Amino acid sequence: MVALQLSHVEARYSRKVIYADASTPEIAGGQLTALVGANAAGKSTLFRRIAGQLSGGGIVTLSGASPQDLRYMPQDTGMTAALSVYESVILSLKQGRGGWRLDAGELAAVDGILQRLNIAGLADAPLAELSGGQRQMVSIAQTLVSRPRVVLMDEPTSALDLYRQYEVLDLLRRYAAETGAVVILALHDLNQVMRACAMTIAVADGRIVATGPTLETLNPDLLRALYGIEARVETCSRGCPMMIVDRVLELQ
Ligand SMILES: Nc1ncnc2c1ncn2[C@@H]1O[C@H](COP(=O)(O)OP(=O)(O)OP(=O)(O)O)[C@@H](O)[C@H]1O
Ligand SMILES: [Mg+2]
| 43 CA distance to ligand 1 middle (Å) | 8
Shortest-distance Cα residue to atom 9 of ligand 1 = 45
Q: Using CA atoms of 98, 185, 131, 100 in order, give the dihedral in degrees to the nearest 10.
A: 0
Q: How confident is the model at residue 219 (pLDDT cuts 50, 70, 90)?
A: very high
Shortest-distance Cα residue to atom 19 of ligand 1 = 40
| 39 CA distance to ligand 1 middle (Å) | 8
Mean pLDDT, rounded, for 216-225: 96
| 126 CA distance to ligand 2 middle (Å) | 27
Least confident of 89-103, 121-135, 221-235: 89-103
Q: What is the pLDDT of residue 99?
A: 74
Q: How confident is the model at residue 95 (pLDDT cuts 50, 70, 90)?
A: confident
Query: What pTM was estimated for this model as a whole?
Result: 0.96
| 148 CA distance to ligand 2 middle (Å) | 22
Q: What residue ranges define each of the domains in the chain, with the CATH number in brackets?
A: 3-248 (3.40.50.300)
Closest-approaching ligand to the CA atom of 45: 1
Q: How confident is the model at residue 42 (pLDDT cuts 50, 70, 90)?
A: very high
Q: How crowded is residue 101: how many other Cβ atoms within 10 Å of its Cβ?
A: 7
Residues 160-179 pLDDT 10s: 999 999 999 999 999 999 99
Average pLDDT, the chain: 95
Q: What is the pLDDT of residue 251?
A: 66
Ligand 1 nearest-atom number relative to CA 41:
21
Mean pLDDT, rounded, for 190-216: 97
Least confident of 78-82, 169-173, 198-202: 78-82
Q: What is the pLDDT of residue 145?
A: 97
CA 187 to chain centre: 8
Shortest-distance Cα residue to atom 27 of ligand 1 = 39
Q: How crowded is residue 154: how many other Cβ atoms within 10 Å of its Cβ?
A: 22
Report d(CA 130, CA 63) in Å as an integer.
Answer: 37
Least confident of 17-21, 95-99, 200-204: 95-99
Closest CA to 211 of 36, 14, 93: 36
Least confident of 13-17, 144-148, 162-166: 13-17
Residue 98 reports pLDDT greater than 80: no
Residue 252 reports pLDDT greater than 60: no
| 45 CA distance to ligand 1 middle (Å) | 6
| 13 CA distance to ligand 1 middle (Å) | 9
Q: How crowded is residue 236: how many other Cβ atoms within 10 Å of its Cβ?
A: 9
| 238 CA distance to ligand 2 middle (Å) | 33
Residue 140 reports pLDDT greater than 70: yes
Mutate to test the pocket of ligand 1, among 10, 17, 18, 201 (most ligand atoms within 8 A of CB): 18
Mutate to test the pocket of ligand 1, among 9, 43, 189, 193 (most ligand atoms within 8 A of CB): 43
Residues with CB under 6 A from ligand 1: 13, 16, 18, 37, 39-45, 75
Q: How confident is the model at residue 77 (pLDDT cuts 50, 70, 90)?
A: confident
Q: What is the pLDDT of residue 87?
A: 94
Residue 136 sits at φ, ψ, to 5 deg, of -65, -40
Q: Measured over all CA atoms, what is the biggest interatomic distance in the chain, rounded to whole angstroms?
A: 59
